[in-house]
Amino acid sequence: MGRILSCPRCQKDDILRSHPQSAREHLASFIFVAPFRCLSCSHRFLASHLWLDHSTHPIDRREHLRIPVRLYLSFSGGKVRGEGTVLDLSMGGCIIKCGTQVHADDIFYLQLSLGDGELPLEVAAMVRSVSARGIAFKFLRAAQENKRLLAFVQAQTPDQPDKSSGKVGVAA
């Protein structure tokens, strides 16, 4: 049995562990301190995750919710250029369908067309795997902090109670 956290604001213990988002939270992860979010009041706070009961406080999967999409994409890296369709998208990466040969660990600049009349979204990404389902890209860290990507992903996922509290809760 590990420790069970309760919310410093409302004292409930429906707490999910979050992924670090701000520089401060990334820094905290070096000393085994992670961000957590209360499901009852959406309060976000930092706490040690050592000896924690991980089945009681699982990682919040919704932060990396995959959204089914159909977006045109082109990419380039080195001598390789290609284009394809983004099938699913999250803040962590995307899966695309395309006929171009790529290899795991290749790094590309992706240009995603988010809509008519909008500039394409440019992100750097690494090929994580190639399978029959498509090419899985992992966005590099800078892309995960991309505001347009975040806005697009959040616009596709209604019912995200932590949309604003994430910023309020970590204010130092």
- The residues of the shown chain that bind Zn ion, judged by CB under 5 A, are 7, 9-10, 38, 40-41, 43
Kindly tell me which of 11 and 100 has the beta carbon lying closer to Zn ion.
11
Phi-psi region of 32 (alpha: psi -120 to 50; beta: other; left: phi over 0): left
Q: How far is the CB of 69 from Zn ion (least distance, A)?
A: 33
Kindly tell me which of 17 and 43 has the beta carbon lying closer to Zn ion.
43
The 3-state DSSP class for residue 13 equals coil
Q: How far is the CB of 100 from Zn ion (least distance, A)?
A: 48
Q: Integer distance in angstroms from the first to the last C-alpha of the chain? A: 32
Asked if residues 92 and 138 have their Cβ atoms less than 8 Å apart, the reply is yes
Kindly tell me which of 13 and 83 has the beta carbon lying closer to Zn ion.
13
Asked if residues 108 and 123 have their Cβ atoms less than 8 Å apart, the reply is no
Tokens of 43: 């309060």
Q: How far is the CB of 167 from Zn ion (least distance, A)?
A: 17
Q: How far is the CB of 15 from Zn ion (least distance, A)?
A: 8
Kindly tell me which of 49 and 127 has the beta carbon lying closer to Zn ion.
49
Burial of 75 (0-12, 13-18, 19+ CB in 10 A): buried
